Amino acid sequence: MRIKPIILLLSAAFMAAACSKNNDKVIAKVGSEKITESYLRQKLEEIAPNAQSYLATKPGRKQFLDILINEKLMILAARKSETARSEDYKKRVSVMENELKSKLEYYKDYMLAKMWVEELRQEKIKITDAELEDYYAKTPYEITVEHIVMPTYEEAEAVMKKIKAGADFAKTAKEKSMDKDNVRLPPVMYGEFMPELEEMAFKMRPGEIQGVVKTGLGYHILKKISHTKPDFAQAKERIRRIVEKKKFDAYLDKFRAKAKVEVFDENYK
């Protein structure tokens, strides 16, 4: 679901309300329907840019107004027709009303959560430079690993035996792993990797192979490729995201402890 159209929709509504209070200039009337200056500007924005220069001339403005007058005439005629009272029309309008209500509820939740997180960043989960420096002092390393993930422990054990017997890790991963397209994972710092694998991965030596470890994705075998130490300045923003996430997760866990969270579908447990 895209937020931009919702924002535009709400902005248009607010603009219309504001204009009505400010005695928006009436350009023309078609029966009881008014064509105001703000409405005309709004419709102009829908026109392709290459036509704007013509519409800036007097003949262009007149032609454009004639188009808007015809639109209003069509609407007035349609409102008096049987179409306006048909069940099909009412049904389609009802569908749109429900969609708009749903989008508005989504937008309200989205904006509330966004503003709430922004406020947390200013107070309860605010990060200081001292915290970043402390985190870097304790965990300054970045590692790169290759992994194989299998659906069962038995299958992972069989692959592990094959690798211990001399099979090439990357080639075996391409043949056997459930995640064949992501054998070598992007470099990670401590706090960016899967928690179940993190301790083991950072303690391993480059070239070392370890496993089998279970995660929510399956059963993993890891091979460590590299273990480097980036400069603090280079890693500072990554560390900020890591520390902030840890603080945020801890803050959210307080609510999780109070809320009743239940998962009923076995495929998601």
Q: Read off the pLDDT of residues 121-178 as tens digits, 9 standing for 90 and up.
A: 999 999 999 999 999 999 999 999 999 999 999 999 999 999 999 999 999 999 999 9
Taking residues 232-253, what's their average pLDDT? 95
Q: Are the C-beta atoms of residues 181 and 173 closer than 8 Å to each other? A: no
Task: Reply yes or no on whether the pLDDT at 198 is more than 80.
Answer: yes
Q: Are the C-beta atoms of residues 40 and 63 closer than 8 Å to each other? A: no
Mean pLDDT score of the chain:
90
Nearest partner of 36 among 16, 14, 55, 11, judged by Cα: 16
- In which residue are the tokens 């036509």 written? 51
The C-alpha atoms of residue 148 and residue 180 are separated, in whole angstroms, by 8
pLDDT band (50, 70, 90) for residue 11: very low
> Can you give the pLDDT at residue 46?
86
> Can you give the pLDDT at residue 22?
57
> Can you give the pLDDT at residue 48?
79
> Can you give the pLDDT at residue 51?
78
The C-alpha atoms of residue 153 and residue 173 are separated, in whole angstroms, by 16
> Can you give the pLDDT at residue 41?
86
Taking residues 256-269, what's their average pLDDT? 86
Task: State pLDDT tens for residues 18-67.
Answer: 444 457 899 999 988 899 999 988 888 888 787 778 878 888 889 999 99
100-113 per-residue burial string, b: 16 or more CB within 10 A, e: under 16: eeebeeebeeeeee
259, with CB counted inside 10 A (0-12, 13-18, 19+), is: exposed
Task: Quote the percentage of the chain above a pLDDT of 70.
Answer: 92
- Residue 135 CB coordination number (10 Å): 21
Residue 210 phi/psi, 5° resolution? -140, 160
Taking residues 208-225, what's their average pLDDT? 95
pLDDT band (50, 70, 90) for residue 17: very low
Nearest partner of 244 among 127, 145, 101, judged by Cα: 127
> Can you give the pLDDT at residue 19?
45
